[in-house]
């Protein structure tokens, strides 16, 4: 299974330092949540692993190889992305969207082979969306669309999944469906999350960013203490055990209301 490392990654945009010397390792099969206030640099850090932004210092490495020493195609075979607000221009069927994940695995004009079909069907099964294979992607609910985009990532057969706030704009049940699915898949996963309770109840470890820096990383229930949540997010927090799941949970409240 794939591993991902950020080694002292710094990123400047228009000569402003957006990410400062972030070192973080995502071990094979591990699900790591990246949390931090808006503008703390989560998406920017993730983009360095997509091979979209070239760091001004340090490197993002997939299985020990600097993503900038690999071609875009090689990187696309190793990591798959699910970003927020994915808009697909034309009308595609669900199956066509998932089949797009095969692109980095094929020649320019190569047609889909038997194996491509098998992988696409398997990916549709994995996200429980085969029933919708012929539906137009744009007619699905937000949660269903997100599951299809995860299927597209699975069809890429990359060992590493990188997601940027994959539960945004989803209703509560659809949020859990996406997170349950990610856990069930068991791939090496790095996901930015804005809901601290999701981070604490789903992730093996959580990395906290503030102002472009990595503040801390560790087991969620040890890292997301009320003190840290107050300092980084400016809200009050209670960390206890969820009465239904028995897993850790975080409830937050406005400082002004208590």
- Binding interface with Mg ion (CB under 5 A): 42-43
> What is the closest distance, in whole angstroms, from the C-beta atom of residue 70 to Mg ion in the complex?
24
Query: Which partner in Mg ion, ligand ADP, none is near 39 (CB below 5 to 8 A by kind)?
Result: ligand ADP
Task: Pick the closest to residue 189 from 203, 174, 199, 201 (CA basis).
Answer: 203
In terms of CB distance, is 14 or 109 closer to ligand ADP? 14
In terms of CB distance, is 39 or 113 closer to ligand ADP? 39
**Cα(228)–Cα(245) distance, integer angstroms:** 24
In terms of CB distance, is 41 or 248 closer to ligand ADP? 41
Task: Pick the closest to residue 189 from 5, 6, 8, 28 (CA basis).
Answer: 28
DSSP state of 136: B
> What is the closest distance, in whole angstroms, from the C-beta atom of residue 55 to ligand ADP in the complex?
13
Query: Which partner in Mg ion, ligand ADP, none is near 18 (CB below 5 to 8 A by kind)?
Result: ligand ADP
**Cα(55)–Cα(111) distance, integer angstroms:** 36
> What is the closest distance, in whole angstroms, from the C-beta atom of residue 5 to ligand ADP in the complex?
19
Main-chain phi, psi angles of 92, to 5 degrees: -115, 150
Query: Which partner in Mg ion, ligand ADP, none is near 20 (CB below 5 to 8 A by kind)?
Result: none
Query: Which partner in Mg ion, ligand ADP, none is near 184 (CB below 5 to 8 A by kind)?
Result: none
Task: Pick the closest to residue 204 from 47, 17, 73, 34 (CA basis).
Answer: 34
**Cα(58)–Cα(25) distance, integer angstroms:** 13
In terms of CB distance, is 36 or 58 closer to ligand ADP? 36
DSSP state of 40: S
Task: Pick the closest to residue 226 from 186, 183, 255 (CA basis).
Answer: 255
Residue carrying the six token digits 């949020």: 175
> What is the closest distance, in whole angstroms, from the C-beta atom of residue 17 to ligand ADP in the complex?
9
In terms of CB distance, is 84 or 225 closer to Mg ion? 84
Count how many residues are written for the chain: 258
> What is the closest distance, in whole angstroms, from the C-beta atom of residue 11 to ligand ADP in the complex?
9
- Would you tell me which residues interact with ligand ADP (CB under 6 A)? 13-14, 18, 36, 38-44
* CA distances, 241 to each of 15, 103, 219 (Å): 45, 44, 15
Task: Pick the closest to residue 198 from 225, 172, 216, 217 (CA basis).
Answer: 172
> What is the closest distance, in whole angstroms, from the C-beta atom of residue 50 to Mg ion in the complex?
13
Query: Which partner in ligand ADP, Mg ion, none is near 44 (CB below 5 to 8 A by kind)?
Result: ligand ADP
Q: Closest-CB residue for Mg ion?
A: 43
Query: Which partner in Mg ion, ligand ADP, none is near 36 (CB below 5 to 8 A by kind)?
Result: ligand ADP
């Amino acid at each position: 299974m794939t591993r991902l490392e950020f080694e002292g990654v710094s990123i400047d945009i228009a000569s402003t330092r957006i990410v400062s010397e972030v070192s973080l390792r995502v071990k094979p099969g591990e699900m790591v949540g990246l949390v931090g206030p808006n503008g703390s640099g989560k998406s920017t850090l993730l983009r360095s692993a997509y091979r979209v932004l070239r760091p001004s210092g340090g490197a993002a490495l997939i299985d020990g190889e600097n993503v900038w020493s690999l071609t875009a195609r090689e990187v696309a075979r190793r990591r798959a992305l699910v970003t927020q607000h994915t808009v697909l221009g034309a009308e595609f069927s669900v199956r066509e969207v998932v089949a797009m994940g095969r692109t980095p695995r094929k020649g320019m004009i190569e047609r889909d082979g038997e194996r491509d079909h098998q992988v696409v069907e398997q990916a549709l099964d994995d996200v429980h969306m085969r029933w919708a294979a012929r539906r137009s992607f744009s007619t699905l609910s937000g949660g269903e669309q997100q599951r299809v985009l995860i299927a597209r990532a699975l069809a890429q057969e990359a060992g590493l999944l990188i997601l940027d706030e994959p539960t945004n704009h989803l209703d509560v049940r659809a949020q859990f469906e996406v997170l349950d699915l990610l856990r069930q898949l068991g791939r090496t996963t790095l996901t930015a999350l804005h809901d601290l309770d999701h981070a604490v109840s789903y992730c093996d470890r959580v990395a906290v960013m503030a102002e472009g820096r990595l503040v801390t990383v560790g087991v969620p229930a040890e890292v997301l203490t009320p003190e840290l949540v107050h300092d980084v997010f400016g809200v009050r927090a209670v960390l206890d055990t969820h009465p239904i799941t028995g897993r850790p949970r975080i409830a937050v409240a406005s400082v002004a209301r208590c």
